[in-house]
Amino acid sequence: MRLRAISFLLLFSLCAKAQDKIGPSLELGMGLTSGTYTPFWLRANQYGAVPTKESYGTAAIALSDFVQVNKRYSWGYGVRGLVNLTETQADVLLQEAYLKGKMGIFELQAGRKKQIQGLADSTLSSGSFIWSGNALPMPMINLVVNDYWAPTFVNDVVGFKGNFAHGWFGNQRSDVADFYLHQKSFYGRLGKPNWLIKFYGGFNHQVQWGGTLKYADPGNFSAKNGKIASSLKDYLYIITGQSMNVVGGDTATYGINDGWNRLGNHLGTVDVGMEVDWNKAKLFFYRQSIYEDGSLYYGNNITDGLHGISFSRKSDQGITKVVVEYLNTTSQGGSVFNNSDVNRGLDNYFNNAVYREGWTYADHGIGTPMMTLDSETDLTNTDFIAYDNNRVESFYVGIEAKLGENSFLLRGSLSNSIGWFGIEHIPVKKQYSVGLQWQRPVQLMGYNAQLKASFGADKGVWKPDVIGGNVSLVLPLN
């Protein structure tokens, strides 16, 4: 087995917790891989920080702070930039750069900031269906209610949270330049915070819209003379999801696709959940159902979704959390599409005829990493930034544990690639992936340092078998 080059990791971080600042820290480490690809569970859901291919090293600097002015007002900021070094290139990434201010229940965020959308376990999930933390955070302005808020007249029995955001995809893609994200979510909780059983439900709505085409479109299918509409009136159509067919099919203003459909690429999930909260443990059940072109409305793709169970112990020793998930995206509404209520299939999740790189940002999938891009496997002989493997069935388990001062995180998955309608894989193409992370505090030259190590391995037919790992030491500088 040939081991590739070992690289070093440098990380400076300055952060704050409540009103207590934590000084800067330096992280030194090295990583290796036995093949072309980075092991799956070492790079998935890392907010774009870990390259998909080759051994890598990183140099990063981070700065953050949080100030609680009083009970109603607070503000903060955060910056994290990094350089990823592989054998072939160096990538400079601004992973986070944001300002935030909170007044009462509302927080206004501006810039790049990590987020996850949808009802799921926030720390150990395989990845929320629509927005998982797999891609680099996108610059946006986001008005958010982070915690469930209950009006006084309902006596805390019903609570609500959500967000409303505008984001920028920028000019880095090969399909469309300078287009936008519209995002909103609304989630409710039934049950007081101290009740044994609580129920949750809600939705999120994502839209890619606007921009200028970078590819030839002589028939004005994707845009009108290369420009996708982005006026204030168009923005209102985006927010409401208005059918342009209902308002007359205006192909004199819009491309044919938008003029007889909806402006932009609309997608999201409808989520439900239930929580059982005992004194010493908590159990959370959740289900996320995807929608893209009407299949969920008509019930055609009801079998598709992310199903999860999270069990957590209120203890700092032993096994502290176990998450089990099942992801199914094989239905996609069926193999036939027309405008009838019966045949609303061929959803082709996360791909789009106008935005041809699909539901991606900075060469990474925005949604669950269990559906893969052309560039992430060898299932096809292309290397595009689009989804060639979006009909999958995945089984996943994640375990968190602590033994003394040692913290462990284990992830494992089995994923079946089904293939597209009419060209299914028989038998299905399987992929096994495992990842183990470990860390503990150590004393080094009088400093309270952290020692970390990770190991990952992939086996199957999606790509050549690979193993890899890394080790690092985090040293405070104050």
The confidence score (pLDDT) of residue 38 equals 92
Q: Which band of pLDDT confidence, cut at 50, 70 and 90, is reported for residue 290?
A: very high
Q: What are phi and psi of 235, to 5 degrees?
A: -60, -40
Contact predicate 261/241, CB 8 Å: no
Residue 40 lies in a domain: no
Q: Are strands 387-389 and 305-313 parallel, antiparallel or unpaired?
A: unpaired
Tokens of 446: 């009088």
Strand ranges, E, within 34-139 = 57-68, 73-85, 90-103, 106-112
The confidence score (pLDDT) of residue 20 equals 40
Interval 333-352 mean pLDDT: 80
The confidence score (pLDDT) of residue 449 equals 85
The confidence score (pLDDT) of residue 23 equals 52
Alpha carbon distance 177, 386 (integer Å): 16
Tokens of 447: 């400093």
Number of domain units in the chain: 1
For residue 324, is pLDDT > 90?
Answer: yes
Looking up tokens 């209902």 gives: 246
Alpha carbon distance 419, 393 (integer Å): 11
Interval 290-296 mean pLDDT: 86
Instruction: Please give the torsion angle defined by the CA atoms of residues 365, 366, 371 and 374, in that order, rounded to the nearest 10 degrees.
Output: -20
Residue 43 lies in a domain: no
User: Which structural domain range is residue 164 located in?
Assistant: 98-210+264-467
Compute the C-alpha angle 390/396/400, nearest 5°.
140
The confidence score (pLDDT) of residue 346 equals 87
Helices H / strands E in the chain, number of each:
3, 26
Residue 299 lies in a domain: yes
Alpha carbon distance 427, 136 (integer Å): 34
Tokens of 157: 């029995």
Alpha carbon distance 334, 347 (integer Å): 8
Q: What is the pTM of this model?
A: 0.91
Express each pLDDT in 135-171 by its tens digit. 999 999 999 999 999 998 999 999 999 999 999 999 9
Interval 265-290 mean pLDDT: 97
Alpha carbon distance 202, 268 (integer Å): 11
Alpha carbon distance 429, 338 (integer Å): 30
DSSP-assigned states of every residue in 53-65: BS--EEEEEEEEE
Residue 460 lies in a domain: yes
The confidence score (pLDDT) of residue 203 equals 97
Higher-pLDDT residue of 294 and 374 is 374
Q: The CATH number of the domain where 205 resides is what?
A: 2.40.160.130
Looking up tokens 């590739």 gives: 4
Express each pLDDT in 430-460 by its tens digit. 999 999 999 999 998 888 888 999 999 999 9
The confidence score (pLDDT) of residue 261 equals 87
Residue 29 lies in a domain: no
Express each pLDDT in 189-199 by its tens digit. 999 999 999 99
Alpha carbon distance 416, 430 (integer Å): 5
Residue 345 lies in a domain: yes
Q: Which of 28-37, 412-421, 464-473 has the highest mean pLDDT?
A: 412-421
Q: Write down the H helix ranges in 189-292.
A: 232-240, 256-259
Helix (H, G, I), strand (E, B) or coil at 200: strand
Query: 465: how many CB neighbours lie within 10 A of its CB?
Result: 14
Residue 59's beta-bridge partner residues? 10, 83
Give the burial class of 155: count Cβ atoms within 10 A of its Cβ; 0-12 exposed, 13-18 middle, 19 or more buried: exposed
Helix (H, G, I), strand (E, B) or coil at 232: helix
Residue 16 lies in a domain: no
Express each pLDDT in 358-407 by its tens digit. 999 999 999 999 999 999 999 988 888 899 999 999 999 999 999 999 99
Weakest-pLDDT range from 4-13, 192-201, 292-301, 395-404: 4-13
Residue 401's beta-bridge partner residues? 319, 408
Residue 235 lies in a domain: no
The amino acid at 373: L
Write the CB contacts of 366 (distance below 8 Å, at least 6 apart in sequence). Answer: 130, 131, 132, 134, 135, 359, 360
Contact predicate 204/118, CB 8 Å: yes
Q: What are phi and psi of 153, to 5 degrees?
A: -75, -15
Interval 119-126 mean pLDDT: 96
